[in-house]
Structure 1
Amino acid sequence: MPYEPPTHRVERSLRATTGAKIIAGVDEVGRGAWAGPVTVCAAITGLRRPPPTLTDSKLIPEPRRSELAAELSNWVTAYSLGHSSPQEIDEHGMTAALRLAAVRALEGLPQRPDAIILDGKHDYLGAPWRVRTVIKGDQTCVAVAAASVIAKVRRDEIMTELAPEHAEFAFQDNAGYPSPVHKAALEECGPTPHHRLSWSYMDALTRWKHLKRTRSEPTEQIGLF
């Protein structure tokens, strides 16, 4: 399939229809992991031509992804990262944890965006943010693609930094996502403080399933909301 670079089509549409001048692309990484935080990046790019090969971070091989993240950190107008910990995910549920991480990212920007382009079809931000959801926005929208790459590389770095503490889990290779090595380590050693104890994988851990936490329903009653 030929490479189709992302464009500023959605940004231009928002400028024309809403008058928005500062537009942030927002994307998350880590939603489906067993361990580690969920990480959200908010990136403001303006309407400049992006670096070559920019697209959804999942489609970019290493080491190009790391190289591109370094380029983007200097190329974007501004970016900020927000995280929700495994404990916050267990306590509040994933939807609320995503919003918490996204608000942390957005509030870390030097200017409050007039509008936000959010990857996917579900608006987990809501009021008071002006949100445009875009399915496959990380492939089609420049700002969202930039956020995707920066978030992915930073979260991978976080998991690599945790790896020496828990060598059996090979976090440097699987970034906390399901893998045969990760599963075997869970069965043998049990979950670490970095694991999400409300996740369904805990049901299969005969020796450790007593540690499972009941996943909370999404809530709006946490700080920053």
Structure 2
Amino acid sequence: MTYEPPTHAVERSIRAKTGARTVAGIDEVGRGAWAGPVTVCAAVTGLRRPPEGLTDSKLLTPRRRAALAAELPGWVTAYAIGEADHREIDELGMTAALRLAAVRALDALPVKPDAVILDGKHDYLGAPWRVRTVIKGDQSCVCVAAASVLAKEHRDAQMAELGTEYPAYAFADNAGYPSPVHRAALEERGPSALHRLSWAYLDALPRWRHLKRPRTPPEAAALQAAGQLGFDL
């Protein structure tokens, strides 16, 4: 199957409408995992021609994705990674954890973007950033595609390294996502120190169900609400 390559069309539209000079693309990885952090990349690419084959990381072979991830740091104008770990996900809930990771990525950029293109339907970032959400932005927008590849490669490598401490869960293969080996290890050993204890997988593990934590305590509500007040682009 062939896919249309990403373009700068959305970024050009934002620049024309708002006068923005620096636009960052944001994508995340790890939202649906049982273990490990949620990782966000913010990438600024300008309007240059992208590397050949750049697209959503999920559409790339591991070999091609790794090659692009090696090329992108020297091609992008700037990029930065932000994370919220498994403990913060359990404490805050995923919406607030995503915002925390995205803020960390944006704060780490050497230049502050005038606007942000956020992959997906929901704006989990919000004010004070000017946000345009784009469904399948990682396929259609160059800066978001670059962020997608960089975030995926960073988190996969991190999970493989962390997995050396917990080999039974095969994190090098599944990056903390559901898999038969991962599930079997959980049934036998229970969650590791990297697992999210508010996730529903524990409901299916009677032996370990008592470890489950409630999701999103009330004190996180204000943090979640703060991510809903963005600008309309």
Query: Could you tell me the TM-score, scaled by structure 2's length?
Result: 0.94
Secondary structure, aligned partner of 1:165: coil
Secondary structure, aligned partner of 2:139: helix
Name the CA distance, whole Å, in 2 between partners of 1:147 and 1:155: 12
Once the two structures are superposed, residues 183-205 of structure 1 have per-residue CA deviations (whole angstroms, 9 ceiling, x without a partner) of 00000001011000000001111
Secondary structure, aligned partner of 2:154: helix
Which of the numbers 213, 220, 223 marks the counterpart of 2:222? 220
Superposed counterparts of 1:193-212, under 5 Å: 193-212=193-212
Once the two structures are superposed, residues 128-187 of structure 1 have per-residue CA deviations (whole angstroms, 9 ceiling, x without a partner) of 110000000000000000000000000000100011111110000000000000000000
Partner of 1:59: 59
Superposed counterparts of 1:21-36, under 5 Å: 21-36=21-36
CA RMSD of the aligned region, Å? Answer: 1.3
Name the CA distance, whole Å, in 2 between partners of 1:144 and 1:62: 18
Superposed counterparts of 1:24-103, under 5 Å: 24-103=24-103
Name the CA distance, whole Å, in 2 between partners of 1:119 and 1:98: 12
Identify unmatched segments of 5+ residues in structure 2. 228-233
Offset, 1:62: 1.1
Partner of 2:119: 119
Instruction: Verify the 8 A CA contact 1:93 1:219 in the aligned structure 2.
Output: no
Name the CA distance, whole Å, in 2 between partners of 1:35 and 1:22: 34
Offset, 1:3: 2.9
Name the CA distance, whole Å, in 1 between partners of 2:2 and 2:195: 38
Secondary structure, aligned partner of 2:162: helix
Name the CA distance, whole Å, in 2 between partners of 1:84 and 1:199: 15
Name the CA distance, whole Å, in 1 between partners of 2:222 and 2:48: 36
Name the CA distance, whole Å, in 1 between partners of 2:200 and 2:68: 34
Secondary structure, aligned partner of 2:221: coil
Secondary structure, aligned partner of 1:118: strand
Aligned pair 1:192/2:175, yes or no?
no
Offset, 1:221: 4.0
Name the CA distance, whole Å, in 2 between partners of 1:185 and 1:3: 37
Identity %: 71
Offset, 1:8: 0.1
Name the CA distance, whole Å, in 2 between partners of 1:17 and 1:91: 38
What residue identity is the alignment partner of 2:221?
T
Offset, 1:2: 2.5
Partner of 2:18: 18
Partner of 2:155: 155
Query: Could you tell me the TM-score, scaled by structure 1's length?
Result: 0.97
